Amino acid sequence: MTADEEWWHGRFGKREERYRPLSHLVGLVVYLVVLAVLNLLAGAYPDSVWHGLVAFLNATVWVVVVLAAINLFADLVLGLPFPTNLPGPVLRAVAAAATAWYVVQLLFEVDRLFGLGVFLALAPFAIILYAAVFLLVLVGESIRLVTGER
């Protein structure tokens, strides 16, 4: 690592790690504000397709809250010293797979509402995607944990 890279990492790398849990909470608040605005817009157009999409987002808001909580807890666990941070990669992998599930469900809902027929054809591959995301994040976070990058 060159002197410039060390300076950059020393100046900005630690700050990013320190504020990561806060970014999950800010992201959750932004999501809830955007959802509130979408609810107001969907109320103005009750018979539109957007009303169905906003209804889906309202029905699954608890999933987003749980995902934010899991990510926040994973960041807090990964910030602990070595023996106590071992559950961190598993928590991060579960959160990543659950996020992939949520995005796929959102794509299925968009497909159903607009009658596209594109994403529903890929439904059998969704489980492979969830498993691949889980394994990739688990391996990546475990490598970061073992190499001491955190």
Inter-residue contact 148 to 17 (CB < 8 Å): no
User: What is the pLDDT, as a whole number, of residue 16?
Assistant: 54
- Separation between Cα atoms, residue 91 and residue 66, nearest integer Å: 12
Residue range(s) defining the domain that contains residue 38: 3-147
User: What is the pLDDT, as a whole number, of residue 55?
Assistant: 86
Domain count, the chain: 1
The predicted model scores a pTM of: 0.77
User: What is the pLDDT, as a whole number, of residue 114?
Assistant: 81
User: What is the pLDDT, as a whole number, of residue 90?
Assistant: 93
Residues of the chain with pLDDT under 50: none
For residue 57, give both structure tokens: 């987002």
Inter-residue contact 54 to 38 (CB < 8 Å): yes
User: What is the pLDDT, as a whole number, of residue 120?
Assistant: 81
